[in-house]
Amino acid sequence: MGDDPGRLYRLDGVAHIAGVINDENQVQKFAVNCTWFEETFGECPEGADEETVRRFARAYIMMLLDTQLFADKSGNRIHIRWLPYVARLEEMGGYSWGSAALAWLYRCMCWVANRHVVKLAGPLQLLQSWIFWRFPSFRPTGYEAFSWPLASRWSGYNPGISNKGPRVQMARLKIDLLQPRDFIWMPYSAVDVIQVVHPEVLEPQHTMLWRCVTSLIYFAVVEWHQVDRVLPQFGGVQPPPRPALNIDFLMLKDGRGGDRWFPSHLPDWHLHWQERAEHILQFDIVADLGHSHDFLAWWHQHGKRFLSPEMLLGDPRGIPIPEEAT
């Protein structure tokens, strides 16, 4: 694929994940089987020279990107679009991997909301970690020790697939019965968590991105970072939200059809990312996190209060027991 620096997209000195929209029939053509990858690069030879080690490192990173952070539902192919990004290992820390992974997760969650879609792709380990950190009642037992990265706390958790239906019903019921104390808005602000967080994560150029209302870009996938709707996770009080941005037309873009360079084809959305520093939320930090009364009134009017059928929410003790029952 060559080593043309122009193929990597940069904004404000930070390389961003962009690329070329491939034709629909090129997905198979530009993919390598995972089995071949594992057989070829499964174990680095002992005493290997530096160039061999770097080659195996590139292969491992490509596996990590395509099967973990940006996994699709195939689960057995590695796309060669990652080659330009692993070509210069020293620059990999300058790519906005977090925003791209979040964009891909948002898009996968949008797709799975379709009634005809049965499987969820994306960085599901990160989604599961987010749930466990914030919902104590959903956490598995025996995972109290943690280190950096924080998602590794749940690395040994592997639930079975049996009784999937009852588990889904119980999860919905748990969500319906949640109380304010059952959700932790800022789990990563605890002292014992801060002690294991890598110091670079807390540098201003990174923490700034947490509070930016901007576009998240992953190749043809563009999502909107609507952190203005979750201010309590940054220490603020949530007011009534502004109307959601309608980006339905972007959902139709999946990287197929034509050969177009993203920054030229979607310039406005890339400009949003480029100017992200101008759209950092400003709000007061408070001790009592939560929502304003105006927000609660808005939510009561527009929100869906329960996920479970009404019959599962009733108290069965209110049903009289027949005398003939043993």
Pair 263, 173 in one domain: yes
Pair 234, 112 in one domain: yes
Chain mean position to CA 115? 21
In a domain, 99, yes or no: no
In a domain, 165, yes or no: yes
Q: Name the residue with higher pLDDT: 1 or 96.
A: 96
In a domain, 283, yes or no: no
pLDDT of residue 28: 43
The total domain count for the chain is 2
Pair 85, 113 in one domain: no
Q: Which among 278, 296, 316 is the end of a domain?
A: 278
Calculate ∠ Cα 229-233-238, nearest 5°.
40
Tokens of 265: 């084809």
Q: Do 189 and 285 form a contact (C-beta atoms < 8 A)? A: no
Pair 120, 266 in one domain: yes
pLDDT of residue 155: 87
Answer whether residue 116 shows pLDDT above 70. yes
Band (pLDDT 50/70/90 cuts) for residue 43 is confident
Task: Supply the pTM of this predicted model.
Answer: 0.82
Q: Do 111 and 161 form a contact (C-beta atoms < 8 A)? A: no
In a domain, 318, yes or no: no
Pair 69, 113 in one domain: no
pLDDT of residue 15: 45
Answer whether residue 294 shows pLDDT above 90. yes
pLDDT of residue 180: 86
Q: Which among 94, 118, 146 is the end of a domain?
A: 94
Band (pLDDT 50/70/90 cuts) for residue 153 is very high
Pair 72, 169 in one domain: no
pLDDT of residue 8: 45
Average pLDDT over residues 161-185: 84
Calculate ∠ Cα 251-263-282, nearest 5°.
75
Answer whether residue 275 shows pLDDT above 50. yes
Q: Where are the alpha helices (DSSP H) in the chain?
A: 26-29, 34-41, 50-64, 83-86, 97-112, 124-134, 164-176, 191-194, 204-210, 262-265, 267-274, 293-302, 310-313
Pair 85, 111 in one domain: no
pLDDT of residue 324: 73
Pair 38, 66 in one domain: yes
In a domain, 175, yes or no: yes
Stated as kind and residue range, the H or E segment containing 92 is none
Q: Name the residue with higher pLDDT: 19 or 73.
A: 73
Band (pLDDT 50/70/90 cuts) for residue 198 is confident
Pair 137, 269 in one domain: yes
pLDDT per residue as tens digits for the range 125-134: 999 999 999 9
Answer whether residue 264 shows pLDDT above 80. no
Pair 123, 269 in one domain: yes
In a domain, 317, yes or no: no
In whole angstroms, give the CA distance from residue 255 to residue 23: 8
Q: Which among 48, 69, 94 is the end of a domain?
A: 94
In a domain, 305, yes or no: no
Pair 165, 219 in one domain: yes
In a domain, 145, yes or no: yes
Domain span at residue 207 reads 104-278
Average pLDDT over residues 9-30: 42
pLDDT of residue 21: 38
Lowest mean per-residue pLDDT among 47-61, 123-137, 300-314:
300-314
In whole angstroms, give the CA distance from residue 134 to residue 27: 37
Pair 122, 235 in one domain: yes
Chain mean position to CA 89? 24
